Structure formats: C-alpha cells, structure tokens
Structure 1
C-alpha cells in the first residue's frame, strides 16, 4: 500500500507544483495591477540602510501613525531584506557579474562546487569550510542537502509596496526551473512572504530525472511601541532524484575517446535504472522577544527577553525495485529495497539580552534539543550483532553572544556548551573587524568546535547487508584561524588555517574488494591530526567598459591517511564587457568565464547513503570549462543567455563531476529574473 501511495505522490507532485505556481502567478499579476495606484511609504527604515553591503542589527521602532504621514515615493533602499542574524540589506536589481555567478539552481555563487550533469543533482565539493557553531550531529545524506533550505538560509522582509520576483531558467531536456516569490507589508507592523522553487529536469543520461520543490512562508511582526518583535517561517521540501550510479566501467573508454556514436549520451549503459532517492523535510520556526527595558532619551540600557522554538521533521529514503549485488553487495531481500532514515528534532531556546551604549550587546541563553533519529526495527546481522533502531534523548546546553561596535571597529564572540545528554559538544567563536575607511577593511577570527559526527555515521540500517552499523566515534574537533583583507574591488584576500582531529569520513570497506562489490561503503575515523590551509584571492580590474574578474583558491592538506582530498588550485576568471545601449534603455553585459581545477583524488558518490566517499585510486581534474554569456537588463528585468562548456568538443572528453559521472557537454540555456514593485 505504501509503495502505491509513494508512486501516486511522485506522479502527482508536478500537478501539485503546478497548482502552487498558478496561485502565485495570480497573486503576482493581481499585485502588479494593485501597484498602479499611489501608495504611501512605510516610515523609518529608508535612512537606516545606506548601501547594499552595510550591516545593521535590525530595524528601529516604528513611530507615529503611517496613515497620517504625507505621501512619499518608495525608494529602492526601503525594500529591506533581513537575515537570520538580523543583518539588513536592501533589494538590488542591478546587473553585475555577481548576478551572473548566482544565476543557477542554488541561486548563490557556487565557486568551489562541481555540479553533476543534470540540474538538481548533487555537487562535488572542491573546498571545505570547517568553521562550526553547532552542538548537535547533522542528519546525514549530505549530498542531498545543497538545495535544502536551513534556518540560516531564510530571509525576512519589510517593504513599502508589494514586491514580487519571478525566476525562470531552462533545464536539461524536458522540464524547467522556476522560483516565484511575493512579499507584502499589510501594515507597517506586519510583513509576510510566500515563495516556491520547483524543478523538473530529465537529464541527458538514462534514468537521471530530478524533481524538486521548496516551499517557504515567512512572516514578521513589530509592535507599534517597538517592545515586542516576532518572526517565523514554515518550510516544506521534497527533493527526488533518480539514481543510476553513473556510467559503467566498460563505458568509460567510450566516453573519453569521444566516439561519435556515443555523443548521444542516452545510449550509454549506466549502473542500474531502478532506483531513486528522496529527501523530504518540513520545519516550523518561531523567534520572538520582548523588551523589558527599552532605550529612550533617558535610558542608555536595554534588556530583552527572548524565545526561539523550532520543530523539524525530515527523512531520507532510498528505493530500488531489485537489488544490485555487484554494486552494493548482498541484501536481506531480493526486491523492493527500501531504506528510510528519519529525524525529528524539537529545539527550544530562551535568552536574555542586555545592550548598553558603552558595554555593547551581551546575551546569555539556555537551549534544549529533543531528538529522535533512527529506524522502525532492530537489525540482526549474520555474526549475531544487533543494530539498534533509535538514537533519541534530550540535550541541554548553555551559551552566550557578545557584540560591540565602535566607529570602524567591531568585536564579536559566541560560545556554546552541552551540559547534559548523550552528546558532548562545545564551540567558541571570536571575530574582530576593522574598517580603516570605506575602501579598506580587515578581520581576524578564531573558531574551535567539538561535535559528534553525523547521525548516519553513528547508526545506519539498510536492506543491503554491508550498510548496517552502529559506531561509538569520538567527537570531531576542529580549530580554525582565519584572516581577511579587502581593498575596494582590487583585492579581497582570505586565508584560513584548520586543524582537524578524529575526522569522520566514508570509504570502501577495507575487508571487501571492489572487484567483488563496487561500493561497499562504511564510515571510518581518522585518529591522526589533519592540517588544512586555504588561501583565496578575489579581485576585479576594470579598463573602460571591459573588466576582468578573478577568483583563485590555493589549498594544501597534510594528512598521512589521505582522507581529506582537495585540488591544490581552483580558479575562475571572467573577461566581460558592459555598456548602456539604446539611449540607456538597456544595459548589456557579455563575456567568457574560465573554470579550472588541478588533478586530485576526487571523491566518489554513493547513492544508497547520498554521501561522497574517499577514493585514492584515480585522479580527476585538469580540464577547462569555458562558458560564453550574454546578459541584459531592461528596467527591472534581467535576461540571461549562456553557452555552457562550449569547449567540450575540442579540449578532450576527460571532464568528470565524480568517478563514473561525466560533467555536462556543450549546451545553451537561458532564463530571466523579473521584479515587480513601485
């Protein structure tokens, strides 16, 4: 019955997505019509944000009655975007090279990520950031989380008039990518937003369909007297991928030789054509606070009492109609492989925040995590080992934050410590930032973290016998020392030094030969210390209407066990031309982007776990990727046209996203970002 229901849900997901998009389109056009009327601007914030990169600590209290204010024309600076940290920027409708970098499936700069061939698949990581302020293990299935919206990915809004945005981009073969968004302030005190991102893409290779959906609803409220503030969001996500394990080993030479017969990628034989994975999650999040003592002309002190509550329910499921013994080994069943790992996490935090003009911003908090991860039954292995089905309990922790800003100097700090429960953990983060002037800024940060490994490394159950384990790993400890120096657009240099102890990773089972089972993957812990250095250089040189934008990353790893593999050099260079045309009616930007990384032992992908694992047999990389683009802006509409990887036919067929998973061939794609507001 469950199989039938699951099939019905998959077949009807597109219908549901279409219904949601239709409703949003109706809202958009209704909003556009409504925006033709004169409308009054929300008072206050426009002088609070000076430019698109200035950070603040939230909005000032709203004063007076907006209905009695004079009519004003809304400014672009009034359309505010507020992050989870309450840093505020405003809407940016310009066309820059950064907009070109962010016009992708993730809608953010994906430098350091190697996309797979189909849109909506996973990404292979070319670099890692080990700065961490979490006290709890992560869920696992990390290869499926690149497009999973976490709490820190959600923004809140405050707008003088309704604001809408429509994003569209073509996919591979059948399907498209759409992201629709609308936000409205029903009053100066209350704002809400609704957004939905949907994708369907068939892909070039057999059995590689992707179908994903991310629904987001946010709201925020501020009392007229400024004492009470609340904000929250609801997010539901459904990320489905067909799995084929890549092209078979016997097909690799046909791909690399560039045989004309196989330029039609659909004729390649893949590992299997009977599996799919699904990551589904929903989250309800609320933050609210009340000012017990409020700053005014007589008092320089402020005391706030706050509460954060978040409930998240998610699961990862791998389905396969019949077992693939040559890939994953023997199974308890011969058909209907169905692995499902679930996590329910209920988070509560209470805090008290004290702010003083001299001391700064000081906070103390108490937190509780009620977690329940696992499976529905116990598993008994052939050697009589019993694999339990649940990791559940309560973690109580304490922490604090500090922030002080004085002229061009800012000091930040944060710490957390688990004081009760089955998982130990602690972190400490400190950062100092100094702005010498508008052109020069420098910062230094220190981060220490001790945290339990991901849930799926501690406990995993599968219908495949080799994918069952229960481990008592030590906490992974990391230390990071980072520096940043920025001078205008000419130089942005970031250097960080990382040390890792008890690093947990996946690799082929040491007791199983790849000749017998191609992927018998298990988690291991590296008992030695890893030293990892990164140095990143960014700059842009402009000469007239031409510009050269550069991002270069150097990495070095000292690891005697070869468990953390990254390319030594990764670079992205864009030469482009920008100009106003047709009496400034259109802004044009066109150029070529060069992407490259040196050869290294690239991680391989395992679909059963939705994880990447370490392999040290074959090096991949050392291939260029050239993209030609033409972008244009007409009023509030940005148009994008790109010839992706146009050099694929003449620089060699050695381009891979992961072992047995070739990267994309030459293709032309286009899209649009369209904003509506007054």
Structure 2
C-alpha cells in the first residue's frame, strides 16, 4: 500500500508542477532520442517557445560528472536492470531479493579515511553520499522503475525532479520493495528515501547542493538450510516447494536504519567559471562541506539458539550505533596554465556505542563506546596537457586514532583513434570497521574489544587500463595488503558437525602480506543484428594463510539479437546470458553480525547460470522480461550463494522503466 501512495504522490506532484512549457525536441544527432511530447506553440504573437532535447535533462554525480538522461535500451541496461540498479557481474545474489550478495571479485582500494559501522553484507542497498544524484532539468521529469520480486511483493523506484527556477532544482525519490521469498522465514523489505537540491545565484558565484536520505533495510534470517543434502541437493520432488525445506531457525531478524543530512557550498572569490571542468580560466573558490549521519545495526531473536552458542539472556537484542559529523573547508585554485589545485582541512567526529558495558568471564571490562575526533589535511591536483590528463590527491590524518592516509594518482592518454590508456597508483592506511574493533552481544562469544590490538590496514596498488572500441576494455590491478582484517570461525570439527560453526566466529588480522591480482576484459562482437558481449575476469591471490578467497575465473557471455520492429515504433532486444565461476572456498554468511566470514572446509561454485531475456523500448518506456536461471532443474542442485544458502530456482520476472515529462 505504501508504494501505491508514493506512486500517487509522484504522479500528482508531476501534475502539480506541470506547466505550459516548451516542447521536447528530437535531434537525429541525439544518442538517446524519443518522440516529442508536444509541438512547439507560440508564447505570443511573433514569438515561438524554445525547444528542449534529451541532453537538457542533466544528471550530476557526487564527483560532479555530468551526464544526460538516457532512454535508450542496450545490453548494459539489461545488466543494470536489477535490485541494485548497477551491474552485479562481481556479485552472487542470495535466493531472495534484498538479501546479501557474496563477492566474486574484491575491491581492496580504499577511498575513505574512516571506518564504517560494519554489517557490510547488509549495506549493498544502502545509498552512501557518493550514490546520491543531483539534477538540472528544464521541465519536470519523472522516472518510474518497477520489477516483480519473489512471492508477495514488488519493487518500485520512483523519482521526480523539477526546477522551481532555472537556478533551483529539486528531486524527490523513494525506492521501496518487499519480497516474501521461496524459503521459510526469508522475507526482506527496504525503503530508501532521498531528496536533493542544487542552487546557484544569478551571478553564479555562489553554489549549493544538498540532500537528505532516510533508509531502512529489514530482513528475516533463517540461518540457511539445516538438511541440504537430503532436501535440496538430492533433487527430491517432495521439496520442490522450497517452503517445505527445513531451516536452522525461524525467529531472528536484522535491520539497518540510517539518516543523513548533507550539504556543500562554494563561493567564487573571482572569475565565474564558464564550463563544468573549470579548466579554461583562472578562478579562486572557497568551499565548505558538511555531513551528519546517524545509523544503527540491530539483530534480534525471540529465543536464544545454540547456533550462535550460549547467551546471557533468553531473548536476544543486539544493537550497534554510530553517529558521525564531518566538516571540511577547502580552497580551490584554477589556472589555465598550471591546472587545478585544491587544499582542504577536515574535522571528523564519531561516536560508536552500545547500550551497556560488559565484564567477561576473566573479569576484563569490554567498553561500550569508541568516541573521538579526527583532523585531516589534504590536497588534490588536476591538469590536462594535450591528450594527457593528470590527477592525484592525498589525505593525511594529523590527529586521531582511526585515520592514516590515502594517496591516489592517475594519468590517462587519449589517442586520436579514440582509445584511452590509463595508469594509476594508490596507497592507503586506516583502521578496520568499527565492528572489528568493538562489539557487544547478548551471545557470550560475540563480545570483543580490539581497538588497541589491531593495527591499521595498509593497501598499496597499481592499476593499468586500456579502453578501445576496436580491442575492447581491459583493466588490471595489483595490490599488496598488510594487516588484512577478516572474520572467521575457530569452531572445532565436533562443533561444525553439530551445526554450531557460527558459535565461534570472531575477527582476526593476518600478520603476513596478501597480494591480489585482478584482470578484467570486456569485448562485444557484432554481426548484423546479432551481438556477442563477453566479460571475463581472472584473479590470483598469493597468501600464507587462506584469508582472502575468490574464484580464479568469472565469465559472463551474452548472445543477443536487436532490431527495430513495427515500422521502427519499437526496438526489440532478446538473447541468452551465460555466467560461470570456478569453484572456490566461498565465504560463509553470519546473520548475527550481518557479515561474511572466511571458511576453508567447503568448495562451492563451478555451475552455470543461464538467463533468457526479452527487452523492448517503446517511446520513453523500456520493458524487461527475464527467465532467470532456467537451467536450474537440469544442471544439478548444487547452486549455492554461500554455504547452506542456495541461489534461486528458475523464475520469470518482468518490469519496466518509464520516463515522462511535464
């Protein structure tokens, strides 16, 4: 019902803000063109309204990269039409929508100086500051994304953006979903509300962008299958109805809730910029960024379960809280000869806490709070020289216990043929996430304090890239990781056999260096209306102990057909996607922590995933129909997303993305 209310609100808002505005013009040169909404009509005698193209509807990222609304349909749109609305090539979903994703590839590069709350497996759908979009549109624009889920639920992502004046743009968006799932006690739901605004004065010297985000992510947790060999892997037809399969428990839930208030303002002391890159003239800008966020992760269970070991109380309620406030002041100098130089100083306040203190069996007190402030300084530089583009930055912690440093530098060269070569280096140092440093639980074994024991994780890496229409896209990265921090179980074989492996999960740091190599290649071949899109990833880990497990090979290959039909009134796209990854010691999932942990007793993977899809575009509407994992019933019941957590069976899902304008 609440999704219907949001839909009605969006539609009514579009009507309320709709005006007698100029027509949207179609240009043959536009990459994403569509039919005009209305014909131009005169303002008054002798005057004709100006026309707009799709390129006038601009989308601006946190990094200030500007794109325009794209209403085309492509294979990349197919890959991104999912719950996360981004390509999940390196992720392995669980059986239900909105549940965790296991990692098929690892991103070890750190772009932030500060630890996060933790519960990383529950944050895939949590929108961070970098995920919020800002808009600049000439007329109100609405986008609706709808997709079916699994059993009693739907997914809707609705966006409305409009301009109150040409210099003030506002957006309202809500992403909500619910899915019961196929297995017992497997329901998931979430809500992501965000509103953003951009403003600049008539002179353009003062600019402001701001957003508010309120998000909640809830899911029931069943601990996975308790008798997978007999009830799942055997293919027994008595358990084709997955709700009949036994699970470990049916009385636990976890939840992430967060609220964020962000704004950034800039003032040009002299010389207003005339282009988005601001590289063609001299200017001096003062800026200030503010971000305040409160967040908590909660795990609750009505009755203690031996699955997690002994407990202090019978009913479990664990809650980790984090409040942060970030203030940064900066000065940016642009010179058409020297380039762009930016310097900043930042103050970060944090308060990570639990409700009570704890004294363990040894009489040691485990604190209930980590609180403090960090002061950092930084600088960034960018310059374009002919076909070369140079940029780099450094942030360094001068005060505080959590931060170290982040150094990034990159150089790219644009060839006349259109190919682009990239080289980059990065080096970072920071403390692990807060739940590694301190945790309290009603379960006895889930209490620790490591903030004075663990050292800062250090990552040093190299990146090479080549992007060419003729040769394809190739990227390679090599990283050396020190003090790699991870969760694992120290359970004995007897505990594992009794199903109590999760009773002994705790954090550790690896004393030896871990090296990680990742090579990724993408190339599409076209013959007439047929195309074959290929993405292959190779990974290699060199380590003393098995603390970082990834598949050696991951591949995705899509053979598809696309053509305009019905006198070019519809663009049709249909094909089959094959995905495969080699078997490896896939990380196990711990629902109490909301984290994955290392396990080296069971290899999973080595099975194919086949999807059949039919997509179509009619004017501004893109339609999607997919038969997911249609080979599930004849390729063997060994498809797992994590130990004891199967991937989904064959299912048909459909939906659409619809843009309309006022």
TM-score, L = length of structure 1? 0.91
Shift of 1:69: 9.8
CA contact (8 A) 2:147 2:156 kept: yes
In 2 relative to 1, CA 540–256 (structure 1 residues): closer, same or farther, beyond 3 Å?
same
CA contact (8 A) 2:523 2:534 kept: yes
Tell me the alpha carbon deviations over residues 460-506 of structure 1, each in whole angstroms, 9 at most, x when there is no partner.
Answer: 00000000000120000001100100111641000000110000000
Number of the residue aligned with 1:389: 368
Shift of 1:251: 3.1
Number of the residue aligned with 2:35: none
Number of the residue aligned with 1:55: none
In 2 relative to 1, CA 391–585 (structure 1 residues): closer, same or farther, beyond 3 Å?
same
Number of the residue aligned with 1:274: 251
In 2 relative to 1, CA 268–414 (structure 1 residues): closer, same or farther, beyond 3 Å?
same
Cα distance in 2 between the residues matched to 1:73 and 1:364: 41
Tell me the alpha carbon deviations over residues 216-242 of structure 1, each in whole angstroms, 9 at most, x when there is no partner.
Answer: 100000111110000010000010000
Number of the residue aligned with 1:476: 457
Cα distance in 1 between the residues matched to 2:196 and 2:229: 47
Shift of 1:26: 2.2
Tell me the alpha carbon deviations over residues 30-64 of structure 1, each in whole angstroms, 9 at most, x when there is no partner.
Answer: 55xx36x333899xxx9xx9979xxxxxxxxxxxx
Please say if 1:418 is aligned against 2:397: yes
Greater mean alpha carbon deviation, residues 374-383 or residues 453-462: 374-383
Number of the residue aligned with 2:161: 183
In 2 relative to 1, CA 489–262 (structure 1 residues): closer, same or farther, beyond 3 Å?
farther
Number of the residue aligned with 2:96: 118
In 2 relative to 1, CA 293–480 (structure 1 residues): closer, same or farther, beyond 3 Å?
same
Number of the residue aligned with 2:565: 581
In 2 relative to 1, CA 300–641 (structure 1 residues): closer, same or farther, beyond 3 Å?
closer
Please say if 1:104 is aligned against 2:82: yes
Shift of 1:293: 1.4
Matches within 5 A, 1:238-257: 238-248=216-226, 250-257=227-234
Cα distance in 2 between the residues matched to 1:243 and 1:69: 64
**Match of residue 358, structure 1, among 334, 337, 343:** 337
CA contact (8 A) 2:273 2:283 kept: no
Number of the residue aligned with 1:135: 113
Shift of 1:300: 4.1
Please say if 1:329 is aligned against 2:309: yes
**Match of residue 514, structure 1, among 487, 493, 496:** 496
Cα distance in 1 between the residues matched to 2:573 and 2:31: 23
Number of the residue aligned with 1:237: 215
**Match of residue 83, structure 1, among 61, 73, 80:** 61
Number of the residue aligned with 1:403: 382
TM-score, L = length of structure 2? 0.93
Cα distance in 1 between the residues matched to 2:108 and 2:481: 9
Cα distance in 2 between the residues matched to 1:70 and 1:493: 49
Shift of 1:139: 1.1
Number of the residue aligned with 1:61: none
In 2 relative to 1, CA 634–489 (structure 1 residues): closer, same or farther, beyond 3 Å?
farther
In 2 relative to 1, CA 361–421 (structure 1 residues): closer, same or farther, beyond 3 Å?
same
In 2 relative to 1, CA 296–597 (structure 1 residues): closer, same or farther, beyond 3 Å?
closer
Cα distance in 2 between the residues matched to 1:522 and 1:188: 54
Tell me the alpha carbon deviations over residues 168-204 of structure 1, each in whole angstroms, 9 at most, x when there is no partner.
Answer: 0000010000000010011110000000000000000
Matches within 5 A, 1:649-664: 649-664=633-648
Structure 1: runs of 5 or more not aligned: 1-14, 53-67
Shift of 1:19: 3.4
Structure 2: runs of 5 or more not aligned: 33-45, 275-279
Cα distance in 2 between the residues matched to 1:307 and 1:127: 36
CA contact (8 A) 1:490 1:541 kept: no
Tell me the alpha carbon deviations over residues 436-458 of structure 1, each in whole angstroms, 9 at most, x when there is no partner.
Answer: 13521110110000010000000
Cα distance in 2 between the residues matched to 1:195 and 1:289: 25
* Partner-residue secondary structure (3-state), 1:266: helix
* Partner-residue secondary structure (3-state), 2:583: coil
Number of the residue aligned with 1:10: none
* Partner-residue secondary structure (3-state), 1:143: helix
Runs of 4+ with deviation above 6 angstroms: 49-52
* Partner-residue secondary structure (3-state), 2:510: strand
* Partner-residue secondary structure (3-state), 1:322: coil
Cα distance in 1 between the residues matched to 2:358 and 2:286: 47
Aligned residues: 637
Number of the residue aligned with 2:536: 552
Cα distance in 2 between the residues matched to 1:193 and 1:264: 43
Cα distance in 1 between the residues matched to 2:388 and 2:267: 29
CA contact (8 A) 2:142 2:160 kept: yes
Cα distance in 2 between the residues matched to 1:214 and 1:295: 36
Number of the residue aligned with 2:480: 499
CA contact (8 A) 2:230 2:236 kept: no
Cα distance in 2 between the residues matched to 1:217 and 1:352: 27
CA contact (8 A) 1:565 1:603 kept: yes
**Match of residue 618, structure 1, among 598, 602, 605:** 602
Number of the residue aligned with 2:8: 22
Cα distance in 2 between the residues matched to 1:40 and 1:648: 49
CA contact (8 A) 1:506 1:523 kept: yes
Number of the residue aligned with 2:285: 304
Cα distance in 1 between the residues matched to 2:96 and 2:372: 39
* Partner-residue secondary structure (3-state), 1:514: helix
In 2 relative to 1, CA 613–655 (structure 1 residues): closer, same or farther, beyond 3 Å?
same
**Match of residue 627, structure 1, among 585, 608, 611:** 611
Matches within 5 A, 1:524-539: 524-539=508-523
Cα distance in 2 between the residues matched to 1:81 and 1:664: 34
CA contact (8 A) 1:40 1:160 kept: no
Structural RMSD (CA): 2.0
**Match of residue 469, structure 2, among 481, 488, 491:** 488
Number of the residue aligned with 1:288: 265
Number of the residue aligned with 1:595: 579
Please say if 1:436 is aligned against 2:418: no
* Partner-residue secondary structure (3-state), 1:467: coil
Please say if 1:160 is aligned against 2:144: no
Matches within 5 A, 1:655-674: 655-674=639-658
CA contact (8 A) 1:169 1:178 kept: yes
Matches within 5 A, 1:13-92: 16-30=2-16, 34=18, 37-39=20-22, 71-92=49-70
